[in-house]
Amino acid sequence: MNKNSKGSALLSMMNDLKRNDEVAAMELGVTLKQLQSWIRGEDNIPDELLSKATEIWPVNRRDFEPITDDVPEGLLVVTAEESKLTERILHRKGTPYYAYRDTAMSRMAPFRPEWIAELVDTDNTDVDDERVCWNNGHFLHQFTYFMGPVNFYFMRGSERCLAQMNTGDSMYISPYIPHTFTNRTVRDNQRGLILALTYSSDLGGDARAEMGALGEDTISKMLLPSVSSQGGIKSLLMSHMTDSCVTPKELSSRCGIPLEKIDGFLQCKNKFNFDELILIAHSLQIDVKDLLAYDAQDREVVEILRGNDCDKWGYNDYLFKQLASSKAMSKVRAFEVLVNPALTGGVIRTSLFQYGYVLGPNPVKISWTYNGTTFRKTLQPDDSFVMKPAIEHSFECTQLSKILLLRAPGKISGDALLELSSLPPGGISRAVQENKQWYQS
């Protein structure tokens, strides 16, 4: 963390609230000299001042707290031995049910990935087996990679379902769907394991905190009636018209599309073509993408992909295998990557945060360049890592090995990335760390 991160946050907040140094010092009850030393990062800002700021200004305490950068070299590694030290056994119905181990996690990245051993054996396909203990679902999205014979139980609507999974199979499950896993008895001493890679979405962090403050009733009134296909476009259009206080008649006047056609669309009797959507977007002073909805999808999503059914392709001398994904999380990507010692693996890069787990059976060497410095590290089987976005890296090995990769966006993606990309020269530097008052004294 930069020593001046809190000072920069304070200056940025003062700019937003239109307080110069003198006014802010007076309102906070401190000397001008002391305030300026905090802004410059020469002294630590005391908690009492932050508490005072949240009392007198319309800001939250979390606005002052910068994200802790626990990946100072761009890559954070957790070895298999370090992972074992975190093991804990959780019981259900008084019986040991799962053994959990943490794998690589960062305060910056959206991943909360766990190595999980199933401790309960089942030898049938009965979804109501009394040994099977269902959970209530959870907030985080989950990608799961299977190693060994595992029974995956899940709800599809009101129906209990079972999928018998094996090594190389994978699945995605959306939030709050009840599910569970057991070890499927195949032969003595064969255990099933999963890598349960949960991760947050756009609804995490500040968005979830805001939901808590607004409450269920307000949030329910904000929801779109439909978020898929043509119904979604109608919902988005009606939302923008309501927010802009624009009637169908006014919209017709602005964009030149006959009122009858607009009324017909709002009643789901006809469709707009893309050129008409552009005209409507411009008349509402929004981007046309703000009228484009998701493809049709269910509210509850369970996607299962068998290892033998995965698409495979070559990329920069690696063999990539596509693992389970969902249109519900279109920015998230999961791969099984084969590293071949006979090939010189090329450099790869992604704009997403990346989690990796060495499936083995052999070590893999990773090389990466961050802030002008090149690093190299040998990863053993069952080691895991988290990597920041936009880092050039490559893999190599002396014997064939595989890596599991999961990529997911952080907060700087989608609309936020588009807005950041449109800042004027010098804007990115100030957005990263404010260093100027908003006007010249």
Digits of tens for pLDDT over the chain (441 positions)?
444 688 888 999 999 999 999 999 999 999 999 999 999 988 889 999 999 999 999 999 888 887 889 999 999 999 999 999 999 999 999 999 999 999 999 999 999 999 999 999 998 999 999 999 999 999 899 999 999 999 999 999 899 999 999 999 999 999 999 999 999 986 667 788 999 999 988 777 778 888 888 888 888 887 766 555 556 788 889 888 988 899 999 999 999 999 999 999 888 888 889 999 999 999 999 888 888 766 545 556 889 999 999 999 999 999 999 999 887 787 899 999 999 999 888 999 999 999 999 999 999 999 999 999 999 999 999 999 999 999 999 999 999 999 999 999 988 877 778 788 888 888 888 888 888 888 887
Q: Do domains 5-66+412-432 and 229-291 have the same CATH topology?
A: yes
| Residue (of 350, 351, 298) closest to 327 by Cα position | 298
Report domain 229-291's class.
mainly alpha
Is 241 strand, coil or helix? helix
Q: What is the pLDDT of residue 430?
A: 85
Q: What angle do CA 73, 79, 80 make, to 5 degrees?
A: 160
Separation CA 197–CA 181 (nearest Å): 14
Q: How far is CA 16 from CA 2, 12, 84, 119, in A?
A: 21, 6, 47, 54
Sign of CA dihedral 46, 48, 51, 52: negative
CATH code of the region 5-66+412-432: 1.10.260.40
- Domain parsing of the chain, residue ranges: 5-66+412-432, 229-291, 306-408
Q: What is the pLDDT of residue 299?
A: 59
Would you mind telling me the total number of residues written for the chain in this entry? 441
Is 317 strand, coil or helix? coil
Separation CA 244–CA 280 (nearest Å): 13
DSSP3 helix / strand / coil % (the chain, rounded to 5): 30, 30, 40
What's the Rg (C-alpha) of the chain? 26
Separation CA 385–CA 357 (nearest Å): 7
Separation CA 414–CA 406 (nearest Å): 18
Buried b (16+ CB within 10 A) or exposed e, 164-177: ebbebbbbbbbbeb
| Residue (of 284, 299, 346) closest to 320 by Cα position | 346
Pairing of the two strands 392-396 and 170-173: unpaired
pTM assigned to the model: 0.85
Both tokens of residue 218? 């307000």
All residues at 6 or more sequence positions from 336 whose CB lies less than 8 Å from its CB, including other chains: 145, 168, 310, 320, 321, 323, 359, 402, 403, 404, 405
Q: What is the pLDDT of residue 119?
A: 95
Separation CA 112–CA 90 (nearest Å): 17
Separation CA 197–CA 202 (nearest Å): 17
All residues at 6 or more sequence positions from 175 whose CB lies less than 8 Å from its CB, including other chains: 137, 138, 139, 140, 141
The phi and psi torsions of 9 (rounded to 5 degrees) equal -65, -40
Q: What is the pLDDT of residue 296?
A: 47
Q: What is the pLDDT of residue 1?
A: 41
Fold of 306-408: Jelly Rolls (2.60.120)
